[in-house]
Chain A
Amino acid sequence: DGGITQSPKYLFRKEGQNVTLSCEQNLNHDAMYWYRQDPGQGLRLIYYSQIVNDFQKGDIAEGYSVSREKKESFPLTVTSAQKNPTAFYLCASSNRAGPSYEQYFGPGTRLTVT
């Protein structure tokens, strides 16, 4: 089945540790995105990538880093510099060749840092 997978579903870390969230898609989409969602809030864009080996900062990139070495994969690292990392993280991808640029979302990773 085609889709987007994120792992793990739940992640617990101690403050001061870096942690990497996985995002993989087999939809052959060029563009991939990372969002953060806090309770009762909308989505805020962290980073996005339109093509392999290229990515851009979103609205809240500080304390995060990404890589895009393969078309299928767009891992997000939450560094110790991120002041308040506990949140729900959603990865998405889209087909920029299509007319709608519709984004498809993965199931999300809930990160808790104590």
Chain B
Amino acid sequence: ELKVEQNPLFLSMQEGKNYTIYCNYSTTSDRLYWYRQDPGKSLESLFVLLSNGAVKQEGRLMASLDTKARLSTLHITAAVHDLSATYFCALNRDDKIIFGKGTRLHILP
């Protein structure tokens, strides 16, 4: 059974700081996704990582994938308040996508 674990589940950080969210998973998967969700809103796709060593960057967010370690990271550089949201990682299993519980990120001005 595929399990997806994110940590931390809650993160409060100061603007301008760097931090990393971790996503561990239990069985092999060939696709890993990162999504963002603002309070009361739907999910917005951030990154799709398809292969070992894949790295993608968009603004202050960078996602990477290590399939051997079954680990993906979402790194936040010089955080700004606008990045406050809940971030989910997810992986596909057969024809479904399994989500982690999410990391609620609160960036203090």
Contact = CB atoms under 8 A, between A and B. Distances in A.
A99 B88 contact: no
B43 interface: yes
A75 interface: no
Given A42-B100, A43-B88, A100-B48, A106 B95 contact: no
B95 A96 contact: yes
B48 A105 contact: no
B32 to A, nearest CB: 10
B99 A42 contact: yes
A42 B42 contact: no
Contacts of A48: 95-96
Nearest to A91: B42
B101 interface: yes
A107 B96 contact: no
Interface residues of B, number: 22
A106 B97 CA distance: 16
Contacts of B100: 42
A45 B96 contact: yes
A50 B102 contact: no
Nearest to A98: B48
Interface string A61-96: 000000000000000000000000000001010001
Contacts of A92: 43
Interface of B: 31, 33, 35, 40-45, 48, 50, 88, 92, 95-102, 104
26 contacts: A40-B104, A41-B102, A42-B99, A43-B88, A43-B99, A45-B97, A45-B98, A48-B95, A48-B96, A50-B95, A58-B96, A90-B42, A90-B43, A100-B31, A101-B31, A101-B92, A101-B97, A102-B48, A103-B33, A103-B45, A105-B42, A105-B43, A106-B42, A107-B41, A108-B41, A110-B40
